[in-house]
Amino acid sequence: MINIDYITLQKFFDENIDFIIGARLQKIQQPTRRDFVFQLRNNGESRKFYININPQFYHVAFISKENEERRGINIPKQPPMFCMLLRKYLEGCKISDACSIEGERILELHFETMDEFSQKRSLCLCIELMGKHSNVILYDRETKIIIGCAHNVGPEKSRYRELQGGQTYIYPPTGNNSFNGIPLYKVLEGDLPLNEKLDNYFALIQEGVNLKGGKNQLLEIVTPKLKRTKNSIDKISQLLSKRDKTEEYKLYGELLTANLYQKKDYSKSIEVLNYFTGVNITIELDETKTLNENAQRYFKLYTKSKTTKEKSEQMLSELEMEREYLENVLYSIERACSIKELEEIKGELGIIPHPSPLPQGARERELLKCEINGFEVYVGKNNKQNDYIISKLSKDEDYWFHTRLCAGSHVLLKVRENEPNEETIFECCKLAREYSSATQPSKVGVIYTKRKFIKKPPKAPLGYVIYKNEKEILV
């Protein structure tokens, strides 16, 4: 990527100066330590002025709603201290003047306000876009005393320039400010105004960085959970296969009951005929008990073992459900291509509150939609969308598709009047295979059935269903 330079910053300022000067600062928000959103209004128009001082992609721009979503801007309930300071001094004030410092990546916004003694006070909000030294500083223009900074710089960090409340504001050392590269504004293609180019360019970069970081954050949460679930499944499965003596205890109880006539009370063992196989077997006994008491002991062991087995199988079923769910979450994370999709996954996992429900039309527009031989086909991109497809969008006669034994999207073929032919069914199977975690070039089984044969079990996680009357096609 190419960072913003002072030539591009000057051109941005020249392009927007008519709106900036005289604009009223209606609202100040600080989503993170490194970015700010100022709601400005001038000439009957409101625009969001975005300041980013992240060393990776420091810039300023008036942002569109679409790019605000791409950047993943979320306003915290509790604003940071510096945001509250800016609100105290600047919110509701007009920008009386503004300037771009020649040869520097510094933009200044001047405000005329009133102090606590109703005296006029001239303040400056200085936006310094200088890589790792980027900062936003509020200071008094007359005294040059700093009121506050986004990042304080003490003597331990810089011997030449301290930036913190109470210190005198001075410009950074000039040094060699010649710029020999290609200015960013010349690199950005298209006929759009420079502001829109900057907004689109940096929104794309931020989206990529935030998307990668968001995915890594979710993977660090989901991957260990999936590993623990798989380990639990293996342990329970091994216990069931190695230690399951339920039927053996039942057989011993029945055989001892049938051989009470032998009067082998208080013996260490007894040899009896297994009338199921026709072979004699030896049964170990508790020599302190009668034969009948030993029979009852085996029946009790049978009951206990049966209960344990049932509970273990139920637990195993729940763990298998959780495993399948987590594998689908991992698939959704890997497939996510926008911050909004990651936010849905975070809401689903309880990391953040669930986003507000969308109207039905808006929810449908989020789904991947295509047309196959005149039939509408929908593909869910995560568990929430998969659940919406099953619970809201589908009808009994619609067809549902999903890969067998691997995570993937739910694919829904809407049936209006005519039934789909084999070619249409196969194309939907290919779509289900494409939107799955199956690796190329191996063939994968894709199952499909009508919606009326699908059921969501009680307390099942999002996107989990059971089905019957399915058919399978290898793709």
What angle (nearest 5°) sits at the alpha carbon of residue 265, between those of residues 298 and 277? 50
Q: Which fold has domain 6-187?
A: ibrinogen binding protein from staphylococcus aureus fold (2.30.310)
Reported as a single tens digit per residue, the pLDDT across 45-58 is: 999 999 999 999 99
- Predicted local confidence at residue 355, as pLDDT: 59
* Count of CB atoms situated within 10 Å of the CB of 78: 7
What angle (nearest 5°) sits at the alpha carbon of residue 242, between those of residues 241 and 247? 75
- Predicted local confidence at residue 203, as pLDDT: 95
Query: Which of 372, 432, 368 lies closest to 406, judged by CA?
Result: 432
CA distance 218 to 349: 9
Reported as a single tens digit per residue, the pLDDT across 124-149 is: 999 999 999 999 999 999 999 999 99
pLDDT reading at 319 higher than 80? yes
Helix or strand or coil: residue 27?
A: strand
Is 368 within 8 Å of 381 (Cβ atoms)?
yes
- Predicted local confidence at residue 158, as pLDDT: 74
Reported as a single tens digit per residue, the pLDDT across 414-429 is: 998 889 999 999 999 9
CA distance 433 to 327: 16
- Predicted local confidence at residue 141, as pLDDT: 94
Reported as a single tens digit per residue, the pLDDT across 401-413 is: 999 888 999 999 9
| Structure confidence at residue 377 as a pLDDT band (50, 70, 90) | very high
Q: How many helices (H) and strands (E) does the chain have?
A: 11, 19
Reported as a single tens digit per residue, the pLDDT across 247-285 is: 888 999 999 999 998 888 898 999 999 988 889 999 999
Name the least confident of 197-201, 261-265, 313-317, 370-374: 261-265
- Predicted local confidence at residue 354, as pLDDT: 60
| Structure confidence at residue 305 as a pLDDT band (50, 70, 90) | confident
Give the 3-state secondary structure of 43-112. CCEEEEEEEECCCCCCEEEEECHHHHHHHCCCCCCCCCHHHHHHHHHHCCCEEEEEEECCCCCEEEEEEE
- Predicted local confidence at residue 443, as pLDDT: 87
- Predicted local confidence at residue 240, as pLDDT: 80
- Predicted local confidence at residue 63, as pLDDT: 97
Reported as a single tens digit per residue, the pLDDT across 356-367 is: 555 556 667 778
- Predicted local confidence at residue 118, as pLDDT: 79
- Predicted local confidence at residue 178, as pLDDT: 57
Helix or strand or coil: residue 443?
A: coil
